[in-house]
Every structure is written in structure tokens, then in C-alpha cells.
Amino acid sequence: MTSQTLGRYEIVAELGKGAMGTVYRAVDPLLNRTVALKTVNMSADRDEMADYEARFYQEAKAAGGLNHPNIVTIYDIGRSGDVAFLAMELLEGRELRTLMPPNAPVAVPDAIDIAIQIADGLAYAHQYGVVHRDIKPANVMIVREGQVKITDFGIAHMRSAEVRTQTGVVLGSPKYMSPEQVLGKRAEPGSDIFSLGVIIYEMLTGSAPFSGVDINAIMFQIVNFAPPAPSSVNPGVPQMLDFIVAKALAKALNERYSSAKQLAGDLRECRAQIETAPGRPPEPAAAMQPAFSKLDMEAATQLLADSYPQTRLEDGTNEIIDLSATLGFSKVFDSAAAATRLAAQTGVADKSWDYKTTQRLREAATNVHGSIVGGSLSHQVPPSFGGAAKGWSTRDKWTFLIGICAAAVVAAVIVSH
């Protein structure tokens, strides 16, 4: 690569930089066509890069076979020195993320139109076995007349791991990852649908459904947290969109939309419902009802549909804990008998250790065990085992204390084994 060329392409200007490389405006002299060149640096570890480059070409070829109005067109792939590149359609427009400032919701009709086009592009790609894996506002371009273009199909696989903890480098944003991606599982078409659901939520409310002080907090929320309904954050959102978003954001794949095409169909039905006649004021959000003809209410995510706008109900339930199991006591363990055996083995027992002493220990151990399991453990020694306290000798008291301690130790040893 020279200062002015990359392969056969003549570099005109730098358009931007990202975690994967640099994007240039360039000209293909053979076709006299202006293109965008996206580069990927291959100068790292050779063994690692060999596999990386193979996957790069495989993904780029798969993406290059996609021909859809909502997917950026890839013209060429190649390599020059340590730099691999994709020559693709040059888009004149704005990234979706620039249209989504914090706390500034996108107008509902515009949000629906954008979401429909993204869903259409994903449906086409999924039909040909291509999963994007990194759907987010930075990979969505809005070009002339509101047309939407999904970018980065060719290199999404290389940065599907959003966080490289070994080097501390963050590739992309974890806010749009699906639960299965967070858990390290293979990305499926449903993963792209979940990511699109996050984008729709953010467009409608002006805030992300999953947020936190760090990456770990965000990932925890993605797996465990059910966000409030969009209409509870933005009253201008029709109720039908609550159910659409709920189904797109289902934690389990089998509860999510089965296809992006199905999601696009429900979005179109929603848009048709909110269209009003000229001069007619829009209906209140609460009055908007889901379209039962095309949106299957029962199929909507039960978790989100039932618990909106609360978090998951089961997160707040108190678990009943078996104290006997927690404290390590066996229901059939004979503490007095164990104490007797231990006393005999250690020489503590002598002629004064008779049947009555054993019985007193057995009764005392039973009372202590019952107090612990009942949750009312007393720290006082029982005044007697069937007689007055004054009948105890000093030796009896020491024998009792040693026996109780020994029984506790033996109980712990037996339970641990």
C-alpha cells in the first residue's frame, strides 16, 4: 500500500476510523466508480491472523452475495500488504446513532419506518443464511429520502465478541447484544431480532432498555432484567408497540419473533393503525389496541407482557430455605450417641459415665437441635436433664460441655462426608 493507493483503488480522503480499521473514500479507476474502502489490519499475530483472514474472506463473500435495497452493496474484497479491505457502496447520509441523542425519542412514525426497513434487510440476509451479529445504530445508515442501509455485514463475525478482556479493548457496544451472545452462545437470526428490538426501544423512549455503570452491569441486565414498557416511558407510544417490543426482547429464542419478516409484518400493521385521516387528531396512546388479526397476543413474550412496567416478579420473591440443610444438621444424626463414642475413644468417659449420663446428653442434644431448626437457638445451658440443677457436680458440667462440643464436631465431619 502506498500513500495514495490501496490495491488498485486510489485513496481520495479518510472518512473515519473504528476499532477494526479505517474507512476511506476511494475511486476504482477500472470502473470510474467512487467507493468506500473499509480496511482491517492483519499485522497482529500471524497464526491468529491466518484464521482471522480466512473468516474475513468467508464472511465478506457471503455478504457480497446479498442484493437488497436495505443492505449496503459490497463490490470487491482484497488485500494489500498487512491490510485487508472491502470495497463497498459509498453512502451519502447519516448514521442512525446521530439521530438518536439521549432523552430525545424519534417520532413514532419515523421510528417504525426505520425499524421496518432494518427488519426487511435482516429477513433477506437470514433467508440466505447470513447473520449480522452486530446490529446497532452505528451500523445503520439513513440515506436519501429516508432509505435505510445496514452496513458491516462482511466483518460483523470478527467482532461478535464485543469485549476483548485480554487486552481491555472494547469492540462495539454491548448494549445491543442478545442474551445468548452475552452467555457466549452462537448467534442466531433471533439474535439480530433482539438487537433490533433494543434499537426500536431506544428510538421510542430516548433511552436504552439496558444500562449500567460498566459492561458487566449491562450484560447482567440483558440476561436478567425486563425493562419498562415503552409507553410507560413515552406516553406517545401506542400500546401495540409495547407488545411488539416485548416479543422482540424475549430472553428465550423460542419466545422471540420466529423471523425478521414476521416482525416487519407486525410493524407495518402498527403503522397502518396509527395513520389518521387528514385533519383528524391522533388517538391517545392508551386507546391504541394491538391488531389481533396479525399480532398474536398469546405468542407475545409472557414475561414482559405480564410484568410491564415492573421488573421480573420472581426477582422479588423470597426463597424458603431449609435451615437444617443450611446449618448442616442431619435429621437422623444422634448427637448424644456420637458424643458417647467420642468420650470413650478419648478417655473422657469413666465409671461416672453411665446410662443415665448418656440419656441426659441425648435429651439435651435433642432440645438444642430442635431449637436450632426452629430458628430459636438459646445460648443458655438447660438447668437440668430431669433433675434440679443443684444435682449437677462440677464433673457433670464439664462432661456435658465437652459432650456437646464433641457432638457438634462429629456432626460437622459426618455431614461434610
Residue 162: exposed, middle, or buried by beta-carbon count in 10 A (0-12, 13-18, 19+)?
A: buried
C-alpha cell at 293: 388479526
Per residue in 321-340, pLDDT (tens digit) is 343 443 444 444 455 555 55
Start-to-end Cα distance in the chain:
68
Q: Which of the pair, 308 or 401, is modelled with greater confidence? A: 401
Q: Provide the 3-class DSSP secondary structure of residue 104.
A: coil
Residue 260 amino acid letter: A
Q: So what's the pLDDT on residue 17?
A: 80
Residues 6 or more apart from 374 whose CB is under 8 A from it? none
Share above pLDDT 70 across residues of the chain, in percent, rounded to a whole number: 62
Specify whether the CB–CB gap between 66 and 54 falls below 8 A.
no
Per residue in 65-88, pLDDT (tens digit) is 899 999 999 999 888 887 888 899
Query: DSSP characters for 23-67?
Result: EEEEEETTTTEEEEEEEEE--S-HHHHHHHHHHHHHHHHHHHT--
Q: Is the pTM of this model over 0.75?
A: no
CA dihedral 108, 106, 147, 129 (to 10 degrees): -80
CA dihedral 129, 134, 138, 139 (to 10 degrees): -10
Per residue in 143-172, pLDDT (tens digit) is 988 999 999 875 555 444 333 333 333 334
Per residue in 218-251, pLDDT (tens digit) is 999 999 999 999 999 999 999 999 999 999 999 9
pLDDT surpasses 80 at 127: yes
Torsion sign across C-alpha atoms 156, 158, 159, 161: positive
* Section 91-112 average pLDDT: 93
Residue 300 amino acid letter: A
Q: What is the mean pLDDT of the chain?
A: 75
Q: Which of the pair, 362 or 247, is modelled with greater confidence? A: 247
pLDDT surpasses 80 at 114: yes
C-alpha cell at 111: 421510528
> Of these residues, 51, 76, 120, 134, which one is catalytic?
134
Torsion sign across C-alpha atoms 166, 170, 172, 177: positive
How far is 362 from 385, CA to CA, in rounded Å?
9
3-state helix vs strand vs coil in the chain, percent to 5: 45, 15, 40
The alpha helices in 91-137, defined as continuous H runs, are 108-127
CA dihedral 56, 59, 64, 65 (to 10 degrees): 150
List the beta strands (DSSP E) in 151-307: 163-164, 169-170
Specify whether the CB–CB gap between 102 and 176 falls below 8 A.
no
* Residue 28 bears catalytic tag: no
Minimum mean pLDDT range among 3-17, 52-66, 142-156, 341-355: 341-355
Minimum mean pLDDT range among 74-78, 193-197, 258-262, 395-399: 395-399
